[in-house]
Amino acid sequence: MTRKPLKLAVRTAKKTRDAARGALLWGYEQRLAREVKAHARLPRHLGLILDGNRRFARAAGVERELGYEFGIDKAHEVLQWCLELGIPAVTIWVLSTDNIARDPDEVRHLMGLFDREARNLARDPRIHANRVRVRAIGQHHGFPGNVLEALGELEAKTAGYDGMLLNIAVGYGGREEIVDAVKQHLAEQAAAGRTLEDVTEALKPEHVSAHLYTAGMPDPDFIIRTSGEIRLSGFMLWQSVYSEFYFCDVYWPGFRRVDFLRALRDFQGRERRFGK
């Protein structure tokens, strides 16, 4: 066989092999989806740490900004997967308080993305058709005015909805959240005329829980982090005391539906003991 027909045969064989692999993966994904949907237990509150956008871009040999764009597209995909399964509450962590200290140009670019995507979500037909209530949680006092306006508009347009609750953790840190909660409790008690001695004597964990950004929600029962990093990095430190964790060795933009379903199946197979 001459070189040209040989190359054609190799390319054809590769296409056939890739198509066969794709068909097998599709079949496996469909089986996983059936198993997950048939199981009685899904997370009531799913936490997602969206990690690895910059490393994905670096590995793909593209600009850092494209990594964030791919990450945004993936977030929209995963939102759809959660809606299809009927998960009641989802919290996605898109920017930490530590991230705000990054390169000013990078942070400026991220703020532009938050402005754009908050406005897009406010118009997204899926949000309104599924009555998704969206909240932005974190510390936003240093955010540009246009970003605050966009986040406020998104919250206002979905405030009366009773479907999925979607928290977007932006400018969020777990330690900061606990400090804010304690400050609010102390201020509330002081306004009621109670002394510091009275407050410290009566202080209970539920007093802190009542002032967290997620007050009124169930604590996350399942938290997924992408990128292969095995740590929380401050995500929902108070609320995650009994959470189940799943660390996925893939960058966020490369997170596939099959990865998502595998994580949920793993959660469904666990026996939760709540510290007992």
Q: What's the pLDDT tens digit per position in 241-263?
A: 999 999 999 999 999 999 999 99
Q: Per-residue confidence at 276, pLDDT binned at 50, 70, 90?
A: confident
Q: Annotated catalytic, 99?
A: yes
pLDDT at 16: 58
- Angle (CA) 74-80-85 rounded to 5° is 130
Location of structure tokens 């007093």: 207
Q: How far apart are CA 213 and CA 234, in angstroms?
A: 14
Q: Per-residue confidence at 3, pLDDT binned at 50, 70, 90?
A: low
Structure tokens at 262: 């595998």
Residues 51, 227 contacting (CB under 8 angstroms) = yes
Location of structure tokens 């530590």: 98
Q: Does 227 carry a binding-site annotation?
A: no
pLDDT at 274: 83
Q: Does 58 carry a binding-site annotation?
A: no
Among the residues of the chain, which ranges form H helices?
3-38, 53-60, 64-85, 104-123, 125-129, 145-158, 174-191, 196-202, 205-209, 257-268
Q: Does 243 carry a binding-site annotation?
A: no
Q: How far apart are CA 234 and CA 252, in angstroms?
A: 18
Own/partner long-range contacts of 254-259 (Cβ < 8 Å, ≥24 apart): 254/52, 254/56, 255/74, 255/78, 255/226, 257/29, 257/33, 257/77, 257/81, 258/25, 258/28, 258/29, 258/32
In single-letter form, the type of residue at position 29 comes to: E
pLDDT at 261: 97
Distance of CA 125 to the CA centre of its chain: 20
Give me the count of residues in the chain: 276
pLDDT at 68: 96
Q: How far apart are CA 62 and CA 206, in angstroms?
A: 47
Please tell me which residue, 72 or 2, carries the higher pLDDT value. Answer: 72
Model pLDDT for residues 5-27, shown as the tens digit of each residue: 655 645 655 565 666 676 777 89
Q: Per-residue confidence at 87, pLDDT binned at 50, 70, 90?
A: very high
**Can you tell me the mean pLDDT for 41-46?**
96
Of 173, 52, 50, the closest CA to residue 101 belongs to 173
* First-last CA distance in the chain: 69
pLDDT at 2: 57
Q: Per-residue confidence at 61, pLDDT binned at 50, 70, 90?
A: very high
pLDDT at 228: 94
Annotated catalytic residue, options 51, 115, 124, 221: 51
Q: Does 52 carry a binding-site annotation?
A: yes
Over pLDDT 70: what percentage of the chain? 92
Domains annotated for the chain, with CATH where assigned, are 43-266 (3.40.1180.10)
**Can you tell me the mean pLDDT for 101-123?**
95
Q: Annotated catalytic, 167?
A: no
- Which residues partner with 89 through β-bridges? 45, 165
Whether 202 shows a pLDDT value over 60: the answer reads yes
Model pLDDT for residues 217-246, shown as the tens digit of each residue: 999 999 999 999 999 999 999 999 999 999
Of 227, 223, 222, 225, the closest CA to residue 249 belongs to 227
Q: How far apart are CA 252 and CA 237, in angstroms?
A: 21
Q: Per-residue confidence at 154, pLDDT binned at 50, 70, 90?
A: very high
Q: Per-residue confidence at 273, pLDDT binned at 50, 70, 90?
A: confident
Q: Does 53 carry a binding-site annotation?
A: yes
Q: Does 233 carry a binding-site annotation?
A: yes
Over pLDDT 90: what percentage of the chain? 86
Annotated catalytic residue, options 99, 120, 219, 259: 99
